[in-house]
């Protein structure tokens, strides 16, 4: 690595963007411009997360990580950086690397960490299935509502490294779905095929939030996958909602690497 670029062992060179991140998805045919969350999704996520509704999740993960001193942690599928930045701020002795396939999201991560003047983070546009870290280099790897990559996580995590995967609980956002759909359903558990890991611990962080702003309700709904498969009637119901008492629920699962 020099001041303006990163070089990989095979001789590839990746320029550091003016905002300070590196784009590793420059290979022809990958179309990095449109990969992952688009600008509207990134904005919705930022508008909602900045209100602090999901801050208890970031704080819980920060507590888990800060219990071990000076770790190197990866945020895989870090999105627009709310969690990476908040956790890095609470764990100043640790170093955090965020990777996301969306260039817009990673550019926003840089804005966040500049605003907070954080010096313990780095970000790259890249894939969770091809992380830019050496074998057995990470102490912690967390993945919040993003694609889970068994083989790559097993490669990058140290033997005693920990994987933290966050997914929605059955009741997460149920009241919001009930307001929009005739037949709302509860979330089913995700199946990740984490064959290289052993589940050590799981914890449901669940609480109620009264969301009283129409803009916040709309931003929340538009950062979920439901937004893109909701009928016109459902969207009309959503837009008419100016208040929603909603369950927020995160299933936090901790896994140990099975490496010998």
Ligand X SMILES: C[S@@+](CC[C@H](N)C(=O)[O-])C[C@H]1O[C@@H](n2cnc3c(N)ncnc32)[C@H](O)[C@@H]1O
- Per CB under 6 A, residues contacting ligand X are 36-37, 45, 77-79, 82-83, 100-102, 105, 127-129, 144-147
Which has the closest alpha carbon to 30: 113, 102, 121?
A: 102
- Report the nearest approach of ligand X to the CB of residue 123 (Å): 12
CA distances to 41, 147, 225, 232 from 228, rounded to whole Å, are 11, 18, 6, 11
For residue 220, the minimal CB distance to ligand X (Å) is: 12
User: What is the smallest separation between the CB atom of 49 and ligand X, expressed in angstroms?
Assistant: 6
Which residue lies nearer to ligand X by CB, 129 or 207?
Answer: 129
∠ at Cα 61 (124, 106), nearest 5°? 20
Q: How far apart, in whole angstroms, are the C-alpha atoms of residue 10 and residue 228?
A: 40
Task: Report the residue number, 3 or 205, with the smaller CB distance to ligand X.
Answer: 205
- When CB distances to ligand X are compared, the closest residue is 36
Distance of CA 143 to the CA centre of its chain: 6
Q: Nearest distance from residue 250's CB to ligand X, in Å?
A: 10
Nearer CB in complex with ligand X: 79/161: 79
Closest distance to ligand X from the beta carbon of 18 (Å): 21
Q: Is 259 exposed, middle or buried (0-12, 13-18, 19+ CB in 10 A)?
A: middle
DSSP state of 25: -
Q: Measured between alpha carbons, how far is 200 from 177 in angstroms, rounded to an integer? A: 32
């Amino acid at each position: 690595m020099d001041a303006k670029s990163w070089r990989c062992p095979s001789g590839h060179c990746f320029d550091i963007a003016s905002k300070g991140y590196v784009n590793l998805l420059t290979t022809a045919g990958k179309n990095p411009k449109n990969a992952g969350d688009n600008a509207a999704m990134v904005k919705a996520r930022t508008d909602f997360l900045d209100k602090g509704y999901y801050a208890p999740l970031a704080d819980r993960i920060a507590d888990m990580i800060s219990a071990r001193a000076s770790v190197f942690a990866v945020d895989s599928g870090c999105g627009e950086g709310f969690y990476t930045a908040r956790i890095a701020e609470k764990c100043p002795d640790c170093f955090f690397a965020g990777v996301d396939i969306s260039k817009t999201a990673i550019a926003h991560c840089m804005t966040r960490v500049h605003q907070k003047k954080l010096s313990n983070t780095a970000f790259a546009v890249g894939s969770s299935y091809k992380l830019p870290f050496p074998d057995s280099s990470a102490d912690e790897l967390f993945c919040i509502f993003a694609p889970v990559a068994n083989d790559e996580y097993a490669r990058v995590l140290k033997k005693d490294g920990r994987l933290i995967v966050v997914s929605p609980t059955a009741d997460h956002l149920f009241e919001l779905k009930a307001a929009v759909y005739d037949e709302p359903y509860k979330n089913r558990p995700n199946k990740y095929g984490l064959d290289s890991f052993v589940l050590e611990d799981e914890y449901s962080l669940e609480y109620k939030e009264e969301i009283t702003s129409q803009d916040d309700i709309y931003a929340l709904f538009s950062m979920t996958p439901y937004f893109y498969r909701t009928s016109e009637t459902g969207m009309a119901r959503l837009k008419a909602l100016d208040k929603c008492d909603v369950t927020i629920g995160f299933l936090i699962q901790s896994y140990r690497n099975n490496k010998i």
